[in-house]
Structure 1
Amino acid sequence: MREPPVHVSSDEVHAHPRHTGHRGIDLFLALTAVFISAISLYVAIEHGRTERDLVAANSWPYLQYEGTGTPEQLSMSMENAGIGPAKVNTIQLMLDNKPVPDTMTLFERCCGVTPEEWKNMKVPNSLASMSVLRPGENRVLLDVTPAMVPAPVFLRLRSRWRDLHLRTCYCSVFDECWMSNMEDLSPKPVRRCDISEPSFNQDLLTPPSSSPPG
């Protein structure tokens, strides 16, 4: 005679699992239930991981370099070609593998411009680091035309144009961060950006009156 699934006493109610009466079959059914539960848990975990990856993919930023080096214009800019906002933490302009802190120092190193000569030139560059670029947004970092500087200076800068490179560290809205030269298709993932690194100066719309630091 099979045991009833529920046993009622004067104190409480006890529920009993149904048994077939065959120990082997009961063990098989129990193991099958455990296996199905494990599969369901695995599927739920993988589904959550997939959803997380999809959200991250839909907010993925990608910064790329855009430049012009012609007799009429020397320009350097970056564009967010990704599909999510890019939090630009640091951006460095490199000349001979050394960071250039500002536009005045760039012209001093590449073209021999003195602080006194710099006072007569106006070469703007816009805010680059500690800013957010929307998808499709372009940010001009350096834009020089022959009208802004003496002809010999422009020619010297143009001769060194291919020696200039950019290096930036940026993050997504989920704080996934990358270090990039904005030329490779695979930026290097990093845990976080080191904001203590010196960045290219963002605002030199008017010539500085002091000499560059030694």
Structure 2
Amino acid sequence: MGNGNKAEMLIAVCAVMTSVIALFVAWDQGRVMRAQQHGAVYPVIQMDGFVSTSVDRASLGIRISNSGVGPAIIESVRMLKDGKAVEGLSTYRDQLPANYDLSWAGLTGRALAPGDEITPIDISWKREDITSAQLAAVAEEWGGLVMEICYCSVFDRCWRARDLGTARAERVPRCERGTTDIFEELRTAPRLPEPEMPEGDTP
């Protein structure tokens, strides 16, 4: 092989190496840019339970907030009891002490903006209608439930958050879109006790 052919071969090898290096740099820059884009819209769902009392009112419920920097698109919400999904909350509602006020808000399909907060359930009583022992019993009963939310960013990166009092979430490949919302069931009227019939009367 002559000197001319060697020089041409060296130039060709250098050109290939330069192309490979340029391709790697472009890929790495794209990776960094994608990471920056995802980081700029990273949602963090925080779930907190609360129990509060004042001179006039006693209440308990759940607050959901987004402490991240991007909107959280909530795809599904579940309540778990001993690791198994709870079909509804009506049984828990029907066991509440009388004279309560209940407000609810659906979560499934909602986009929660950064810094926003929502209260999916808030149960309250006039202070004279519930004792401290009753309130503690209700809090313990509802505290046995584990809340699970699956949510995504605008770039379809998804996480599953579970249990109250924590912002730690597990990355998941995707979220299955829920067809129902467990809190929307609470819009129905509570089950009322059967009226007592006077002795000797038949229905």
Give the TM-score normalised by the residue count of structure 1: 0.72
| Alignment counterpart, residue 69 of structure 2, candidates 73, 83, 91 | 83
Whole-angstrom distance in 2 between the partners of 1:107 and 1:208: 7
- Superposed, 1:34-53 pairs within 5 Å as 34-53=16-35
| Preserved contact between residue 168 and residue 179 of structure 1 (Cα < 8 Å) | yes
1:162 equivalent in alignment to 2:143:
yes
Whole-angstrom distance in 2 between the partners of 1:105 and 1:209: 9
* CA pair 149-188 structure 1, distance change in 2 beyond 3 A: farther
Q: Which residue does the alignment assign to 2:91?
A: 105
Identify which range, 26-35 or 141-150, moves more after superposition.
141-150
- Number of residue equivalences: 185
Which protein has the larger Cα radius of gyration, Structure 1 or Structure 2? 1
Whole-angstrom distance in 2 between the partners of 1:150 and 1:92: 30
Whole-angstrom distance in 2 between the partners of 1:122 and 1:166: 22
| Preserved contact between residue 67 and residue 77 of structure 1 (Cα < 8 Å) | yes
Q: Which residue does the alignment assign to 2:42?
A: 60
Equivalent residue of 1:36, what SS? helix
1:192 equivalent in alignment to 2:174:
yes
1:74 equivalent in alignment to 2:74:
no
How far residue 148 of structure 1 moved from its aligned partner, in angstroms, is 8.6
Which AA in structure 2 matches 1:131? R
Whole-angstrom distance in 2 between the partners of 1:87 and 1:51: 22
* CA pair 186-23 structure 1, distance change in 2 beyond 3 A: farther
Identify which range, 192-201 or 81-90, moves more after superposition.
192-201
How far residue 88 of structure 1 moved from its aligned partner, in angstroms, is 0.5
Q: Deviations over 1:7-53 (max 9, x none)?
A: xxxxxxxxxxxxx9533233222211110111001111111121112
How far residue 140 of structure 1 moved from its aligned partner, in angstroms, is 0.4
Whole-angstrom distance in 1 between the partners of 2:154 and 2:101: 35
* CA pair 162-25 structure 1, distance change in 2 beyond 3 A: same
- Superposed, 1:15-34 pairs within 5 Å as 21-34=3-16
**Structure 1 stretches of 5 or more lacking a match?**
1-19
How far residue 55 of structure 1 moved from its aligned partner, in angstroms, is 0.8
Q: Which residue does the alignment assign to 1:3?
A: none
Q: Deviations over 1:55-76 (max 9, x none)?
A: 1111111101122224433121
| Preserved contact between residue 101 and residue 198 of structure 1 (Cα < 8 Å) | no
Equivalent residue of 2:186, what SS? coil
